[in-house]
Amino acid sequence: MNLFADEAARLRAFPVAGERIFLAHAGVTVLPRCAADAMCAHVEASCAHHQEFGDVLRDVARTRAVCASVIGADAGEIALLGPTSLGLSLFANGLDWDPGDELVCYGDDYPSNVYPWTALASKGVVIRMIQPDVPGRITPDLVAATLTPRTKLVALASCHFLTGWRIDVDAIGRLLHERGILFSVDAIQSVGAGPFDVAHVDFLSADAHKWMLGPLAIGIVYVARRNFDLCRPTLLGSWNVRSPDFVAQSEIVFEETARRYEPGVLNITGMYGMKASLEMLSATGLETVRSAILKARDHLQGRLREAGFAFLSPDVEDPMRSGILTCRHPGRTSAELFAKLEEQGIVASLRSMRDGSQWLRFSPHFYNTLDEMDRVAGVLARAVA
């Protein structure tokens, strides 16, 4: 599938495709041309103006609106903060916890979505770990079985970073809200890879540097307006505490919107890159983006299965699969195969499980083509022959 007018248009939009096959969007993405141009334009403009001239402040507001639109939120519920761990830490530390309160999370999530929550044990919070039979495969029934009358919050990733299993965010959110339990989502492996809806989510954090095709250290932090009073801002500064004419006040009064979680100046250069990438993805259509990602991923899985690879990820028919495809071959080490891919200009990820086993992780985006998937499969088939 090629959503561009021709190959030349694809290469203009994604220059990396002229140099190598990039299949590591679940790691740190390369930037599309539109993001790089937007960031460079702001840097150049900052040579003639200070870095927060009038147009910049208006673009901050526009960026909040763009971010809100891709997750079904209101712009006033968006803070422009990254990395993901910053938002998750703001949630964990901003809530009031009583000894004996219980929190549910998954110990084999990405560490950014583990440590902010397990650290709450020092406050007397009881940490209950979900234990799926298949790594990353977390169902609503499994969540329900872990809850108790003392559960205050459930913190999960929308998609497992290694295996690529997605959770049913809407179903789990409904289940929790029916019981008065808060729901925090690490959505870095989902936002930008397809439609996303926070209708039944209380807190969300997602940096731009994966599927949003944006730069590092800028992202979306969402706090549902109904939770502003529940989640206390724990980082304070001149931006989120009202300080008329930059005069510090005797009383701390927070901004009325999610700006209350932004203590100081923003990563404006990164913001421009994120805004440009999200506008490109939105113009393409997030349903179209998801379809193209899955088409490439499924095609690669079929070709690698023919070559004898085994998979940690869901099969092609599973509705909870994502753009992440993780596999290994019984006849060659994953490190060997990873080196072969690098030699051929193919960028993937080499990841390890808790048991020490190593796996190849592929994560194509909407601009990757089936021809590229065939070339990757060909390299690996020859390597294991």
The DSSP-derived string for 22-60 is: E-BTTSSPPPPHHHHHHHHHHHHHTTTS-TT-HHHHHHH
Q: Which residues contact 278 (CB under 8 A, 6 or more apart)?
A: 66, 67, 70, 192, 208, 212, 214
First and final C-alpha spacing in the chain: 28
Q: What is the pLDDT of residues 326-341, one digit of tens each?
A: 999 999 999 999 999 9
pLDDT at res. 50: 81
pLDDT at res. 48: 87
The fraction of the chain above a pLDDT of 90, given in percent, is: 95
Distance CA 249, CA 266 (A): 22
Residue 293 has pLDDT above 60, yes or no: yes
Distance CA 284, CA 4 (A): 10
| Average pLDDT over all residues of the chain | 97
Split at pLDDT 50, 70, 90, the class of 49 is confident
Split at pLDDT 50, 70, 90, the class of 2 is low
Q: What is the pLDDT of residues 58-89, one digit of tens each?
A: 999 999 999 999 999 999 999 999 999 999 99
The H or E element containing residue 221 is: strand 219-223
pLDDT at res. 98: 97
Q: Which residue has the higher pLDDT, 278 or 49?
A: 278
Distance CA 256, CA 217 (A): 24
Q: What is the pLDDT of residues 197-253, one digit of tens each?
A: 999 999 999 999 999 999 999 999 999 999 999 999 999 999 899 999 889 999 999
Residue 1 has pLDDT above 60, yes or no: no
- The one-character DSSP state at 311 is E
Query: Which residue type, as a one-letter code, is found at position 244?
Result: P
Distance CA 220, CA 79 (A): 6
Q: What is the pLDDT of residues 10-30, one digit of tens each?
A: 999 999 999 999 999 999 999
pTM of the predicted structure, to 2 decimals? 0.96
Which residue in this structure is represented by tokens 């609106």?
65
Q: What is the pLDDT of residues 317-328, one digit of tens each?
A: 999 999 999 999
Neighbours of 246 (CB within 10 A): 6
All domains in the chain, ordered by first residue: 7-30+285-384 (3.90.1150.10), 36-282 (3.40.640.10)
C-alpha distances out from residue 32 to 4, 35, 278, 358, 369, Å = 14, 6, 11, 30, 16
Query: Which residue type, as a one-letter code, is found at position 313?
Result: S
